Structure 1
């Protein structure tokens, strides 16, 4: 059973633990590690789970639940955070800055602003 988490989660400390563990287990040359980890994002993106929920997989019935799709999408986020930590010295700062840039695209007159 998965450990319960709170909305304020120590995600970056977990990313650091995972990154150190992966670095200990790595067999690829150091310069290729980032590229290999980027490829991991593409293998985890969850399309099969969503297709399975919607009944679009081969076969007559749905093959996945929404919980499967949510876990698959979360796996993508974890993989992306690990890649960012691999290729960036300050992944927290880079992610926060990018999120600010993307959120700034919302027009000022929109009612969803903070």
Structure 2
């Protein structure tokens, strides 16, 4: 094995990600003490909290606060970034049942604007 995954592996991983997003959204909807518009706004604000935790981890990883010194690792930063990404996907799911389609379409648009159109034709 050469360490490269197949397209089926990637699709399976993506399916698992979006299943987890849906499961977390379902759990949050059932467990949330605040609903309606206020609950929606709080779900969006959760992103700011998570981004703040990334900042705290970066500051801690470089020891920027002389009173505290080094309090975090770059593994902590990576974990906090994952929390931001997951929180954003769950927030997106809160706004649309087709979070996956919305996200994939947006990523394709950003890639087109940034990288140009995909190469036409394939020799394979």
Q: Which TM-score applies when normalising by structure 1?
A: 0.81
Whole-Å separation in 2 of the counterparts to 1:74 and 1:39 = 17
Aligned residue pair count? 104
Query: In the TM superposition, what is the alpha-carbon distance from 1:29 to its structure 2 partner?
Result: 2.8
Q: Is structure 2 residue 71 aligned with structure 1 residue 77?
A: no
Query: In the TM superposition, what is the alpha-carbon distance from 1:27 to its structure 2 partner?
Result: 1.5
Task: Decide which structure has greater helix share.
Answer: 2
Q: Which of 97, 113, 121 is 1:89 aligned to?
A: 97
**What 5-or-longer segments of structure 2 have no aligned partner?**
1-8, 117-124
**What 5-or-longer segments of structure 1 have no aligned partner?**
1-5, 109-114
RMSD: 2.0
In structure 1, the residue matched to 2:108 is 100
- Please identify the structure whose Cα radius of gyration is greater: 2
Contact 1:49–1:69, Cα closer than 8 Å, also in 2? yes
Q: Which TM-score applies when normalising by structure 2?
A: 0.75
